[in-house]
């Protein structure tokens, strides 16, 4: 399909393509996983192109309701073809290749995501990972053929991260051999599940299991929530759409509230635990966290998702940069392509190398995942903690880097990059959500930190550790890791870039031509070099040590640091009297994210007043500098110094406590920006989360209930598309 010559191609793009140093088809085969896979992908793409309905009106110009209905219309057409193709597949490998191809091609039809994303991404994987063999035999065919449409409802209004804190209860009633589901509080309302608002008729519900008066912790249940014929919510349930959000607008994310809702005993997914008819609880799992398995699987998937999304963004930005010409550098000469500016290359090329870093690492991670799964089938769960740690930090870093890189791609496209039609805003909205869902960025990094600390303890005891973390042992040797720049970079490369380097070298070591090897090597080097420069600051603070100071005042410094500890500021800690659940505001990492916003607000206000008076002078000063780093630092320095001096002038008449707070803000602003480069400012609140009275959950629910999709119990697309599709009449 791509090989057909295309008429009217922009001359600059043609020129750039002619300059390519390698055979593009060869690289395409490498990315697809071989020639045959490329051929198969193209076959499926061609078939879909012929059969899929395209949008008549651009998706972004439709109302929220129309967007959803359009997404259902397209999803049903895609699913029809998907189900047909899946039914022809006989081998597991073919099925996973097909799923990946369908996933990739489906993006050509949706600016937003399909309401079936959770059915495919979490409902089916949870059936596979959490059901007993008999349950799989019952549910899997129904789900694969889309006779039922499911989602995954774990998160509640009050808890997402802390799964053990979920409040929904499933209490076993041995008289009727049923579980009774209840949402005892407002904060226990299920919130967020994709497809739940309007589309799904089944749902995986994670709830606290009670039997014989005992709580056994959270367990997954498979629950029918809507009538299969009328699609009306079943009695005992309140279900609806949660309201507009940054992206995921066509995913109909929903809420779900249970009121004594009864489900059969075998609704409990029984691979890892079961409840017998008489209410006896039987634990089968060899590891207590196996019920968290779907999350690990999706975290692994997300690394390749990020590679794919960033590859789209950077392709858009690089092509446009080749076409876009701007600024007359020499009189009477053509304006250069913006791609030729070094600063533009600085914005874009790291994204190209990042795509490959993510894709190679993702291939390796998926293989590792399957190996660990295979071992677990034979009862060996030894590798699970490391898989959890790896998938946690890789998911956190790749989702965060990917959304930041997509923003760079948007910046690289100037004003036109802000147009929805450029697709960059939608790509950003989709990927920035991935930093939060399936485990928040900070929370997942802390999980990996926990694993590393435990491993470090093992290293100190002289015990063997796995190859992936063996560098911890090597770095106990001061010769291997000294504080010279080379030593630090060596350590950094070993930690952060090891997988990418070895995997990219391994993947291109045979079969591939020298031209491809050269390009891959360049991309690999760029990735390593870029991050060793970007994070030099982090690396240098490794020496931020009471033990390693220049003056050798080890014991004095140890005591000084100990006395600064917040725990030492009060003689008896309040946890002696009671053990409150922490507010997320109490986490230092959360304060780190928020307090700079307050300080920045004051800094900007003060600087704005000052700037107004001396606009002309400052304008000329801000103009200096040849790279974007220098003016950025200059601008930041202006903010810092004006804030510092203007604040000093205006606080003198205020009360002492207020002066102290304002001075702390100045200090925070200055200190923060020596460590960080960016911060957020929310000037106009208009927010369900930030209301003065703190009635967060009430407001979220009030807003959701105002949501137009909730004004009708069943959306008309059910009768028009979903029902005929489920009943095989479409
Ligand atoms: C048409 C289209 C065609 C085709 C499409 C096909 C397919 C789709 C393909 C791609 C799509 C890809 C993705 C999209 C899919 C869905 C995404 C959309 C929506 C998102 C959904 C969600 O977000 S679902 C909800 C997810 N929720 C979370 O992730 C919650 C995060 N919280 C946690 O994970 C945990 O609770 C916690 C780890 C933070 C803490 O748990 P807790 O029980 O409190 O544990 P601790 O006490 O802290 O630790 C105890 C020990 O347990 C270890 N641990 C923790 N977690 C795990 C684990 N998962 N596995 C193993 N071990 C674990 C922990 O390390 C501790 O160990 P120690 O040894 O130190 O004690
Ligand atoms: C687009 C989208 C789709 C989603 N789809 C689904 C779905 O289909 N099904 C489903 O069940 N869920 C879904 N979710 C919910 C998602 O999984 C949660 O939002 C996510 O896990 C984060 O949890 P939270 O919202 O409770 O964040 P919180 O935990 O409340 O996080 C708030 C802040 O507190 C910090 N914090 C929390 N705990 C700690 C800690 N221990 N240490 C330090 N800092 C901490 C975090 O870093 C963060 O800065 C979706 C969310 C989004 C945005």
Lowest mean pLDDT among 133-142, 206-215, 218-227, 614-623: 614-623
The pLDDT assigned to 148 comes to: 97
Lowest mean pLDDT among 10-14, 144-148, 350-354, 552-556: 552-556
Nearest bound ligand to CA 250?
2
For the Cβ of 194 lying below 6 angstroms from any atom of ligand 2, the answer is yes
| Ligand 2 centroid, distance to 441 Cα (angstroms) | 9
For the Cβ of 150 lying below 6 angstroms from any atom of ligand 2, the answer is no
CB atoms within 10 A of CB 375: 15
% of the chain exceeding 70 in pLDDT: 81
What lies within 8 Å, CB to CB, of 360 at 6+ separation is 499, 500, 503, 504, 507
| Ligand 2 centroid, distance to 160 Cα (angstroms) | 5
Q: Is residue 475 predicted with pLDDT exceeding 70?
A: no
Q: What is the CA radius of gyration of the chain?
A: 28
The pLDDT assigned to 676 comes to: 52
Q: What's the CA gap between 193 and 552, in Å, rounded?
A: 56
More confident residue, 492 or 127: 127
What confidence category does residue 541 fall into, taking pLDDT thresholds of 50, 70 and 90?
very low
CA-nearest residue, atom 49 of ligand 1: 447
What confidence category does residue 662 fall into, taking pLDDT thresholds of 50, 70 and 90?
confident
| Ligand 2 centroid, distance to 443 Cα (angstroms) | 9
Nearest bound ligand to CA 289?
1
For the Cβ of 163 lying below 6 angstroms from any atom of ligand 1, the answer is yes
| Ligand 1 centroid, distance to 709 Cα (angstroms) | 30
CB atoms within 10 A of CB 384: 20
What confidence category does residue 292 fall into, taking pLDDT thresholds of 50, 70 and 90?
very high
**What are 511's strand-pairing partners?**
none
**Average pLDDT in the 393-415 region?**
94
What lies within 8 Å, CB to CB, of 581 at 6+ separation is 165
Which of 204, 396, 437 maximizes ligand 2 atoms within 8 Å of its Cβ, making it the mutation to test the pocket?
437
Sort 348 into a burial class: Cβ within 10 Å, 0-12 / 13-18 / 19+: buried
**Average pLDDT in the 84-101 region?**
85
CA-nearest residue, atom 24 of ligand 1: 438
More confident residue, 517 or 412: 412
CA distances from 406 to 347, 350, 400, 424, 526 (A): 10, 11, 10, 7, 18
Assess contact for 223 and 267: CB atoms under 8 A.
yes
| Ligand 1 centroid, distance to 276 Cα (angstroms) | 28
Q: Is residue 503 predicted with pLDDT exceeding 60?
A: no
503 belongs to the catalytic site: no
Q: Is residue 237 predicted with pLDDT exceeding 90?
A: yes
Q: What's the CA gap between 66 and 250, in Å, rounded?
A: 10
For the Cβ of 250 lying below 6 angstroms from any atom of ligand 2, the answer is no
Residue 684 tokens read as 């106009």
* SS3 call for 175: coil
**DSSP letters along 509-571, please?**
SSSS-HHHHHHHHHHHHHHHHHHHHHTHHHHHGGG--SSS-TT--HHHHHHHHHHH-GGGGSS
Residue 287 tokens read as 């590891």
For the Cβ of 97 lying below 6 angstroms from any atom of ligand 1, the answer is no
The pLDDT assigned to 106 comes to: 84
Which of 115, 117, 247, 449 maximizes ligand 1 atoms within 8 Å of its Cβ, making it the mutation to test the pocket?
117
Nearest bound ligand to CA 121?
1
CB atoms within 10 A of CB 14: 11
**Average pLDDT in the 536-557 region?**
56
Fold of the 149-284 domain = Butyryl-CoA Dehydrogenase, subunit A; domain 2 (2.40.110)
Largest Cα span, the chain: 90
Q: Is residue 596 predicted with pLDDT exceeding 80?
A: no
CA-nearest residue, atom 34 of ligand 1: 439
Give the global pTM. Answer: 0.82
Assess contact for 492 and 6: CB atoms under 8 A.
no
More confident residue, 519 or 324: 324
Q: What's the CA gap between 118 and 445, in Å, rounded?
A: 24
More confident residue, 542 or 491: 542
Residue 670 tokens read as 């200055």
Q: What's the CA gap between 575 and 691, in Å, rounded?
A: 29
CA-nearest residue, atom 5 of ligand 1: 103
Catalytic residue among 112, 156, 386, 438: 438
For the Cβ of 188 lying below 6 angstroms from any atom of ligand 1, the answer is no
Q: Which atom of ligand 2 is nearest to the CA of 441?
A: 47
DSSP 46: H
Query: CA 541, 529, 630, 643 torsion: positive or negative?
Result: negative
Q: Which atom of ligand 2 is nearest to the CA of 196?
A: 8
**What are 218's strand-pairing partners?**
208
| Ligand 2 centroid, distance to 439 Cα (angstroms) | 6
For the Cβ of 157 lying below 6 angstroms from any atom of ligand 2, the answer is no
For the Cβ of 443 lying below 6 angstroms from any atom of ligand 1, the answer is yes
What confidence category does residue 200 fall into, taking pLDDT thresholds of 50, 70 and 90?
very high
Q: What's the CA gap between 158 and 162, in Å, rounded?
A: 9
Q: What's the CA gap between 568 and 555, in Å, rounded?
A: 18
Nearest bound ligand to CA 101?
1
The pLDDT assigned to 636 comes to: 62
For the Cβ of 698 lying below 6 angstroms from any atom of ligand 2, the answer is no
The pLDDT assigned to 367 comes to: 93
DSSP 156: B
Which of 437, 445, 451, 457 maximizes ligand 1 atoms within 8 Å of its Cβ, making it the mutation to test the pocket?
437
**Average pLDDT in the 454-463 region?**
89
- Any binding-site annotation on 194? yes
Q: What's the CA gap between 730 and 716, in Å, rounded?
A: 16
For the Cβ of 241 lying below 6 angstroms from any atom of ligand 1, the answer is no
Task: For 172-192, write each residue's pLDDT tens digit.
Answer: 999 999 999 999 999 999 999
| Ligand 2 centroid, distance to 363 Cα (angstroms) | 26
CA distances from 272 to 285, 544, 625, 688 (A): 4, 46, 62, 39
Task: For 301-343, write each residue's pLDDT tens digit.
Answer: 999 999 999 999 999 899 889 888 999 888 999 999 999 999 9
Which span out of 459-473, 554-568, 673-687 was modeled with the highest average pLDDT? 459-473
For the Cβ of 591 lying below 6 angstroms from any atom of ligand 2, the answer is no
The pLDDT assigned to 730 comes to: 76
What confidence category does residue 609 fall into, taking pLDDT thresholds of 50, 70 and 90?
low
Nearest bound ligand to CA 168?
2
CA-nearest residue, atom 33 of ligand 1: 161
Residue 28's closest CA among 53, 45, 15, 48?
A: 45
What lies within 8 Å, CB to CB, of 236 at 6+ separation is 258, 259, 260, 261, 262
CA-nearest residue, atom 29 of ligand 2: 161
Nearest bound ligand to CA 97?
1
Q: What's the CA gap between 100 and 300, in Å, rounded?
A: 14
CA-nearest residue, atom 52 of ligand 1: 289
Lowest mean pLDDT among 183-187, 382-386, 470-474: 470-474
The pLDDT assigned to 483 comes to: 47
Q: Which atom of ligand 2 is nearest to the CA of 153?
A: 11
Q: Is residue 622 predicted with pLDDT exceeding 60?
A: no
The pLDDT assigned to 92 comes to: 79
Q: Which residue has the tokens 């059915």?
A: 119
> Taking the domains of the chain in order of start, what are their residue ranges?
149-284, 453-543, 587-675
Residue 122's closest CA among 305, 344, 268, 298?
A: 298
Residue 254's closest CA among 407, 149, 330?
A: 149
* SS3 call for 30: helix
For the Cβ of 388 lying below 6 angstroms from any atom of ligand 1, the answer is yes
| Ligand 1 centroid, distance to 360 Cα (angstroms) | 22
Q: What's the CA gap between 351 and 404, in Å, rounded?
A: 10
The pLDDT assigned to 351 comes to: 92
CA-nearest residue, atom 43 of ligand 2: 587
For the Cβ of 247 lying below 6 angstroms from any atom of ligand 1, the answer is no
Q: What are phi and psi of 92, to 5 degrees?
A: -60, -40
**Reported ipTM exceeds the 0.90 cut:** yes
Q: Which atom of ligand 2 is nearest to the CA of 195?
A: 8
CA-nearest residue, atom 55 of ligand 1: 289
What lies within 8 Å, CB to CB, of 621 at 6+ separation is 634, 638
The helix/strand count (H/E) of the chain reads as: 26, 11
More confident residue, 688 or 723: 723
For the Cβ of 221 lying below 6 angstroms from any atom of ligand 2, the answer is no
**Average pLDDT in the 362-381 region?**
92
Q: Which atom of ligand 2 is nearest to the CA of 438?
A: 17
The pLDDT assigned to 681 comes to: 26
**DSSP letters along 287-303, please?**
STTGGGHHHHHHHHHHH
């Amino acid at each position: 399909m791509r090989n057909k010559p295309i008429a009217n191609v922009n001359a600059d793009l043609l020129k750039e393509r002619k300059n390519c140093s390698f055979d593009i088809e060869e690289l395409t085969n490498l990315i697809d996983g071989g020639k045959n896979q490329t051929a198969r992908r193209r076959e499926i793409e061609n078939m879909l192109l012929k059969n899929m309905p395209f949008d008549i009106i651009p998706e972004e110009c439709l109302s929220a309701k129309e967007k959803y209905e359009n997404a259902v219309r397209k999803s049903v057409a895609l699913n029809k073809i998907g189900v047909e193709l899946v039914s022809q597949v006989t081998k597991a490998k073919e099925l996973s290749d097909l799923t990946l191809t369908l996933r990739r091609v489906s993006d050509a039809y949706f600016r937003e995501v399909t309401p079936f994303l959770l059915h495919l991404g979490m409902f089916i994987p949870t059936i596979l990972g959490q059901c007993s063999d008999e349950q799989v035999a019952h549910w899997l065919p129904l789900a694969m053929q889309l006779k039922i449409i499911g989602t995954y409802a774990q998160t509640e209004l009050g808890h997402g991260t802390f799964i053990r804190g979920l409040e929904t209860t499933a209490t076993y009633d041995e008289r009727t051999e049923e579980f009774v589901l209840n949402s005892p509080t407002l904060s226990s309302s299920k919130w967020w599940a994709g497809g739940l608002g309007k589309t799904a008729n089944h749902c995986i519900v994670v709830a606290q299991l009670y039997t014989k008066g005992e709580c056994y912790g959270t367990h997954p249940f498979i629950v029918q929530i809507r009538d299969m014929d009328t699609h009306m919510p079943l009695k005992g349930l309140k279900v609806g759409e949660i309201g507009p959000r940054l992206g995921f607008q066509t995913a109909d994310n929903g809420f779900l509230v249970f009121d004594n809702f009864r489900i059969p005993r075998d609704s409990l997914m029984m691979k890892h635990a079961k409840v017998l008819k008489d209410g006896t609880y039987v634990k089968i799992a060899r590891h207590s966290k196996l019920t968290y398995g779907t999350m690990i699987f999706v975290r692994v998937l997300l690394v390749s998702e990020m590679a794919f999304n960033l590859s789209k963004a950077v392709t858009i930005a690089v092509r446009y940069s080749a076409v876009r010409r701007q600024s007359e550098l020499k009189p009477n000469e053509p304006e250069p392509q913006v791609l030729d500016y070094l600063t533009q290359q600085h914005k874009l090329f790291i994204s190209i190398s990042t795509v490959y870093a993510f894709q190679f690492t993702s291939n390796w991670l998926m293989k590792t995942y399957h190996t660990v799964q295979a071992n677990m089938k034979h009862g060996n769960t030894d590798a699970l903690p490391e898989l959890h740690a790896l998938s946690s930090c890789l998911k956190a870093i790749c989702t965060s880097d990917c959304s930041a890189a997509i923003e760079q791609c948007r910046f690289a496209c100037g004003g036109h990059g802000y147009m929805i039609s450029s697709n960059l805003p939608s790509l950003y909205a989709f990927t920035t959500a991935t930093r939060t869902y399936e485990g928040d960025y900070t929370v997942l990094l802390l999980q990996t930190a926990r694993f590393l600390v435990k491993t470090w303890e093992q290293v100190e005891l002289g015990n063997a550790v796995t190859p992936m973390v063996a560098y911890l042992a090597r770095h106990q040797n001061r010769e291997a890791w000294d504080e010279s720049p080379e030593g630090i970079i060596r350590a950094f490369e070993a930690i952060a870039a090891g997988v990418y380097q070895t995997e990219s070298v391994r993947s291109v070591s045979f079969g591939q031509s020298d031209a491809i090897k050269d390009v891959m090597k360049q991309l690999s080097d760029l990735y390593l070099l870029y991050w060793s420069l970007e994070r030099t600051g982090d690396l240098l603070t490794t020496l931020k040590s009471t033990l390693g100071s220049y003056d050798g005042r080890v014991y004095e410094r140890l005591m000084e640091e100990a006395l600064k500890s917040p725990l030492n500021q009060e003689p008896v800690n309040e946890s002696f009297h009671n053990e409150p659940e922490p507010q997320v505001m109490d986490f230092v990492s959360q304060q780190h994210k928020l307090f700079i916003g307050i300080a920045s607000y004051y800094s900007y206000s003060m600087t704005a007043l000052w700037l107004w008076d001396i606009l002309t002078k400052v304008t000329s000063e801000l103009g200096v500098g040849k790279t974007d780093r220098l003016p950025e630092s200059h601008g930041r320095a202006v903010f810092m110094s004006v804030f510092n001096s203007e604040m000093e002038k205006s606080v003198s008449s205020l009360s002492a406590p207020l002066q102290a707070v304002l001075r702390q803000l100045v200090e925070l602003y200055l200190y923060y920006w020596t460590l960080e480069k960016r911060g957020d400012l929310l000037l106009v609140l208009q927010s369900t989360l930030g209301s003065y009275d703190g009635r967060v959950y009430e407001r979220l629910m009030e807003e959701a209930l105002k949501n137009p999709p909730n004004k009708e119990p069943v959306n008309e697309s059910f009768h028009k598309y979903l029902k005929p599709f489920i009943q095989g009449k479409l």
